[in-house]
Amino acid sequence: MKLAVLFVCMGNICRSPTAHGVFRSYVKDAGLDHVIDVDSAGTHAYHVGEEPDHRSQVHAMKRGYDLSDLSARQMIAADFESYDLVLVMDWDNYAIAEQLAPAHQKHKLKRLTEFCKTQQAAVVPDPYYKGDEGFEEVLDLVEDACDGLLEHLQARLKK
Instruction: Give the mean pLDDT of the chain.
Output: 97
Q: Mean pLDDT throughout 3-18? A: 98
Alpha-carbon distance 49 to 144, whole Å? 28
Identify whether 15 is a catalytic site residue.
yes
Segment 144-153, tens digit of pLDDT = 999 999 999 9
Residue 87 CB coordination number (10 Å)? 29
For residue 14, indicate whether it is catalytic.
no
Domain segments of the chain as ranges:
3-158
CATH 3.40.50.2300 fits domain 3-158: yes
**Is 84 an annotated catalytic residue?**
no
Mean pLDDT over 97-119 rounds to: 97
Tell me the pTM: 0.97
Q: Which residue, among 21, 71, 69, 66, has the nearest Cα to 45 in the 3D structure?
A: 71
Query: Cα(61)–Cα(122) distance, rounded to whole angstroms?
Result: 26
Average pLDDT over residues 114-128: 96
- Please tell me which residue in 79, 126, 144, 146 is annotated as part of the active site: 126
**Environment class of 96 (CB within 10 Å of its CB; exposed 0-12, middle 13-18, buried 19+):** middle
Which residue among 14, 15, 55, 146 is the active-site one?
Answer: 15
Which pLDDT value is given to residue 159? 79
